Amino acid sequence: MPMSEQKESSVLFSLKEIMNLEEDRIRQEEAEQRRQAESAAQARIDLERRAREEEEARLNAEENRKRAEEQRVREDAARLEAIRVAEMEKARLDAENAARAEAMRQQQEHERQIAALKHDKHKKRLTVIATGAGIFLLVALVGGGLYIKHQQEVSAAQAAAAQQAQAAAQAQLDKLMAELKAQSEDVQNLQSAVQNAHDDAARAAAQKALDDAKAKQEQTKQQLNNRRPATPGTAAPHKSNCNCTPGDPLCSCIP
């Protein structure tokens, strides 16, 4: 390539570079201007928002202050009204109490005067009545004391007789229980003798003795049943419901 063409190409390249640089600078300036404009707009928006918020806060505070002031005024008025009503009620009660006390004083004075008149009028009658009442009371006390003493002596005698009868009955019952226990032992021994007999004669003799022992045992049981007091509200034991162990001396049912 000739030298002149190289120089021309170099100049064109330089101009192009300069133009590119200028375009870049212009674009940067435009971008910076847009950024500044946007920042300014955002700052204005923020300032307006803060102004609105501050105004709203001020209005709210003022509204709250007015509300609190109105509430305080109402409370003060209610408190004063309550004090006034309480004072009026206290004055009314004081007046009623004073009137009631005066009426009571007058009533007591009237009753005192009437009592004084009655005392003067019936003094002699009361003396006679008191004397008669004293004599009657003395006679009643003497008679009552003698009657009470007689009743105590009768009750003591009856209690002693009842204790003696109860002791005798208990002694007889204990005796029958002892006899029944011995008879039960005899029955058990004779039952063993019948079972262990070696011949018919010994077995027959043991059986006869066993029958006699059972008969005596039955008589003793009957005597015990007749002497034992029946429990109120309970029926006598039935023969078919007797669950006593054979030979039990404390069995109260009749097999």
The per-residue DSSP string of 173-201 comes to HHHHHHHHHHHHHHHHHHHHHHHH-SSHH
What CA–CA distance (Å, rounded) separates 37 from 44? 10
Q: How confident is the model at residue 91 (pLDDT cuts 50, 70, 90)?
A: very high
Cα angle 223-188-207, degrees, rounded to a multiple of 5: 90
Residue 160's pLDDT is what? Answer: 81
What is residue 73's predicted lDDT score, i.e. its pLDDT? 94
The mean per-residue pLDDT over the stretch 84-103 comes to 91
Residue 136 Cα distances to 91, 125, 126, angstroms = 58, 17, 15
Give the pLDDT band of residue 5 (cuts 50, 70, 90): low
**Out of 40-44, 135-139, 236-240, which region has the weakest mean confidence (pLDDT)?**
236-240
pLDDT, one tens digit per residue, over 68-78 is: 999 999 999 99
Residues 6 or more apart in contact with residue 212 via CB below 8 angstroms: none
Is the pLDDT at 45 greater than 90, yes or no?
A: yes
Considering the chain, what is the average pLDDT of its residues?
Answer: 79
Identify the pLDDT of residue 29.
Answer: 92
Distance CA 203, CA 193 (A): 7
Tell whether the model's pLDDT for residue 163 goes beyond 80: yes
